[in-house]
Structure 1
Amino acid sequence: MTIKSIAAGLLATTMLAGAAQAATLQVAIDSAPAGLDPHLITAFNSVVIVQGNIYEGLTAIDIDLAVVPGLAESWEVSDDGLTYTFSLREGVTFHDGSAMTAQDVAASIARVQAEATGSPLASRVSPITAVNVVDDLTVELVLNAPFAPILTSLSGIAIVPAEFESDVDALQQTPVGTGPFAFADWQPNSYIELTRFEDYHQQGKPQLDAVRFHFVPESATRQVGITSGDYHLLPAIDPATALQLQGIPNVTVQETRDLSYTLVGFNAAREPFGDPVVRTAFNMMLDRNEIIEGALFGAGVPAGPLSPALVNWALDTGEYACYETDRDAAMAMLEEAGVELPVRLTMNVLPRQDTRDIAQVVQQQVSGAFEIELLNQEIGQFVQDWQNSNFDLFVSANGGSPDPDEYFYRTFRGGGSTNVFRYDDAEIDEWLDAGRSETEFEARKAIYDQVQRKLACEGPIAHIAYGNLFTAVANSVEGFEIYANGRLTSLVDVTVQ
């Protein structure tokens, strides 16, 4: 063998090795995000990009929905449960090269709490009355009362550089975090690309060079793309697509029970939904099993206020009398309440295939009593109207949480940070305040049992279904694990062959 041929062989081997290591994971989602600021976003297509990939919290949630260390490697709690002292990891840097310190933690919490920010996460940190910077790697959180879910809540509070504390615009387009991937590029109507953060604090991770999130509105196009090899991952696909991809060569569909749920939301500030009798009657007209069969291809279970995945908390939906479909009784209740029928309303529809299908079935099931016009909106308009409570009704999907307080308090507490329903009930407020300060499990469960029983029929949400969460994964991808909360947390361990 000549020197020239040896050199050529070595070059080819080097190029092949480089190609195996320099991989970009191609992900397809159904639409572009409405923004990327971790303290402002609510839509799935924003959260799935930033949470755990670009940003991290003091704590994290593992695949079993347990709290584990995040940017804080450990913490101590005072005997009275009012002071939490967090020890931060050494050597953590932001994507801009600056060191992450306790001052950034303090500024991030203050940013979420600030009224000017308008963060939907504000209720998660409302019991924190002081954040004391002890030194660069130690931060102390002081509470006004014991706050049982604080460690779970902090997992969703991304730490951002302190310089952004008063800036509510910059991070929407150009995020800066500590996560395994750094923001690289956003091509409107095309893709967002993240690149490997070379100085990530977990040595040897991530192994991917980049992750590119393609915006592909058509489900059929995404399906063709993963079967042809153009895409490696389709997160949170609808049940119809999951069914079609079952058994396709070189594609695996991972599945778990979803923490998130589909819902119909009522504006309690608009008639007739200010009356709990009307909300109960609407629930009684729904046939959730029919909705699941018709819109979700049977992949789901009727939804109560908490997911059955939360086995320690969720009540069986058999406890809720309004879940027994009874159209005649519902009509009688509406007439007795003095509601002039039919009630003409509009319903905002989240731009997803499952929610579009659910909206159509619900429209049919309540017709005669409620004549509903469906408004199919693009994601930006839907989110804006949701935030401004500009709706009679809406159909959407909402992410769940491992602790009931994270969902219930911000959603149903009067003045809660995502109480877009304008719902206000003194009894619910009292129970929710007690639930977050009670630290004994059995006592907390008794409180949240009461909350579930009342919200299921009288609350401002008709919970529709907890579906099965599906993600299609090309067989060339190794290391991906599906999380029940829908996060792509495992991308840090993914490789592409």
Structure 2
Amino acid sequence: MTFKIRTALLASALVLGAALSAQAARTDIVIGMQLEPPNLDPTGGAAAAIDEVVYANVFEGLTRYRSDGSIAPALASSWDISTDGLIYTFHLQSGVKFHDGTDMNAEDVKFSLDRARAEDSTNAQKALFKGIASVDVVDPLTVKVTLSDPNGGFITNMAWGDAVIVAPESIATNTTNPIGTGPFTFTEWVKGDKIVISKNPNYWGEAVALDKATFKFISDPTAAFAAMMAEDIDAFPGYPAPETLPQFAADPRFSVVGGNTEGETILAMNNKDEHFKNVKIREAVAHAINRQEII
């Protein structure tokens, strides 16, 4: 069975529990997460945990990433690019509805892109939209995007979680009650515990195999290990206790999958702190860190 649920690998390993390792005929899944998202609007927050839950599950963009990193059509079934590379004409999928029953059309695409590139935009990846000169609705299923300069990466930019298509009717509440077009609908968010999404029976595309997915927040490494061993969690991307991975690898109930990530962990000093205001102290800390040992 192929589970069509997208989660990002934010660390070096993914631990799969017994049910998934055996490819059991399940219609639900429980995913472990280290961090709880601060909100559920990927167009207004920088936290990676937001996309881990909603990207390609609840929200979709004009294009999307395939598992191999290539770009595929999503809400745009196809697109044309002018010979000078400045005009992108997107042809939208027909019959797409938001989870509240409203139609997704070219006006929603224009709203989403104009909102993302607006001067007061809080989009974490506002630079993705910087080169857009104008967005014009040609007809309900056709949108023309004009760039100020050619950008060979524009189609890729439209696949980012920050570029998903949202509706003006629901944007105000997307932080806590996300309304998208994806194969899953938002069900509940128990703060400090879990987020549940459910199969969208009216999805415009290929139906997903799962009826329900639960994202369980477990930041404590000891608790994460215990949850996996008890088989309370089916999979844990970015597993927080790497020292226990050999134990999982030796247990036939589990599979450990290693991978790469584009995620970065930044260690910085707060220059407003009374101690770190002193450049000599900052230099001393910098000299004291063994960078090679960390790497």
Q: TM-score with structure 1 length normalisation?
A: 0.49
Q: Structure 1 residues 81 and 280 mapped into 2: Cα distance closer, same or farther (>3 Å)?
A: farther
1:162 to 162, 165, 168: 168
Q: What is the aligned partner in structure 1 of residue 235 from structure 2?
A: 233
- Give the aligned residue type for 1:200: Y
Shift of the alpha carbon at 1:24? Answer: 1.8
Equivalent residues of 1:58, 1:70 under 8 A apart? yes
1:217 aligns with: 219
Answer whether contact 2:170 2:179 (CA < 8 A) is retained. Answer: no
Q: How much does 1:152 deviate?
A: 1.3
Return the alpha-carbon distance in structure 2 between the equivalents of residues 283 and 179 of structure 1: 46
| Deviation at residue 285 of structure 1 after TM alignment | 5.8
Alignment check: 8 A CA contact 1:37 1:175 kept: yes
How far apart, CA to CA, are the structure 2 residues paired with 1:175 and 1:121? 19
Corresponding position of 1:436? none
CA distance in 1, matches of 2:253, 2:229: 7
Q: 2: distance between equivalents of 1:22 and 1:81? A: 46
Does residue 199 of the first structure (1) align with residue 202 of the second (2)?
A: yes
TM-aligned CA distance change 1:265 to 1:137, over 3 Å: farther
Q: Which residue of 2 aligns with 1:439?
A: none
Aligned letter for 2:168?
A
Written as runs of structure 1 = structure 2, the 5 A alignment for 1:114-263 is 114-156=118-160, 157-164=163-170, 167=172, 170-203=173-206, 205-238=207-240, 239-263=242-266
- Whichever residue aligns with residue 195 of structure 2, its letter is I
Which of 1 and 2 has higher RCO (CA within 8 Å, sep 6+)? 2
Distance in 2 (alpha carbons) for counterparts of 1:178 and 1:288 = 44
Indicate how the Cα distance of structure 1 residues 286 and 66 shifts in structure 2: closer, same or farther if over 3 A, else same. Answer: farther
Give the CA deviation at 1:214.
1.4
Q: 2:9 matched to which residue of 1? A: none
d(CA) in 1 for partners of 2:137, 2:276? 46
Identity of aligned residues (%): 32
- Residue correspondence of structure 1 range 9-158 to structure 2 within 5 A: 23-156=27-160, 157-158=163-164
Max Rg structure: 1
Q: Deviations over 1:191-213 (max 9, x none)?
A: 1100001122223x211110011
Q: How many positions carry a matched residue from both structures?
A: 267
Q: Rate the CA distance shift 1:136–1:237 in 2: closer, same or farther, 3 A.
A: same
Question: What letter matches 2:101 in structure 1?
Answer: G
Deviation of the 1:270 alpha carbon:
9.5
- Map residues 374-413 of structure 1 onto 2, 5 A cutoff: none
> CA deviation digits over 1:378-421, x for unaligned, max 9?
xxxxxxxxxxxxxxxxxxxxxxxxxxxxxxxxxxxxxxxxxxxx
Q: Indicate the residue corresponding to 2:13 in structure 1.
A: none
Determine if contact 1:223/1:245 at 8 Å carries over to the other structure.
no
- Distance (Å, rounded) in 1 between the aligned partners of 2:102 and 2:282: 51
SS of match in other structure, 1:224: helix
Residues 286/149 of structure 1: CA separation in 2 closer, same or farther (3 Å cut): farther
Distance in 1 between the 2:143 and 2:253 partners? 48
Structure with the larger helix share: 1
Contact 1:245 1:251 in 2 (8 A): yes
AA partner of residue 95 (structure 1): H
Deviations 1:266-312 (A, max 9, x none): 678999999xxx999976764333013xxxxxxxxxxxxxxxxxxxx
TM-score under structure 2 length normalisation: 0.81
| Whole-angstrom CA distance in 2 between matches of 1:122 and 1:143 | 15
Aligned equivalents of 1:161 and 1:171: distance in 2? 9
Give the 3-state SS of the residue equivalent to 1:109 in structure 2: helix
Distance 1:31 1:159 in 2: 25
Contact 2:45/2:122 (<8 A) preserved: no
Q: CA deviation at 1:256?
A: 1.2
Q: State whether residues 227 and 250 of structure 1, in contact with CA within 8 Å, keep that contact through their aligned partners in structure 2.
A: no
1:455-481 C-alpha deviation (Å, 9 max, x unpaired): xxxxxxxxxxxxxxxxxxxxxxxxxxx
Query: Given that residues 79 and 90 in structure 2 are in contact (C-alpha distance below 8 angstroms), is that contact kept between their aligned partners in structure 1?
Result: yes
Cα deviation, residue 245, structure 1: 2.3
Partners of 2:134 and 2:127 lie apart in 1 by: 15
Q: Read off the aligned partner of 2:42 and give its amino acid letter.
A: P
What secondary structure, in the 3-state scheme, does the structure 2 residue paired with 1:162 have? coil
RMSD: 2.8
Determine the C-alpha separation between the residues in 2 that align with 1:266 and 1:245.
36
Mapped to 1, the partners of 2:35 and 2:118 lie a distance apart of 30
CA distance in 2: counterparts of 1:63 and 1:232, whole angstroms: 20
Mark the CA change 1:191 to 1:145 in structure 2 (over 3 Å): closer, same or farther. Answer: same
- CA pair 272-75 structure 1, distance change in 2 beyond 3 A: farther
Once the two structures are superposed, residues 328-348 of structure 1 have per-residue CA deviations (whole angstroms, 9 ceiling, x without a partner) of xxxxxxxxxxxxxxxxxxxxx
Corresponding residue of 1:393? none
Distance 1:112 1:270, change over 3 A: farther
State the alpha-carbon separation in 2 of the partners of residues 131 and 87 from structure 1: 14
How far apart are 1:87 and its partner, in Å? 0.9
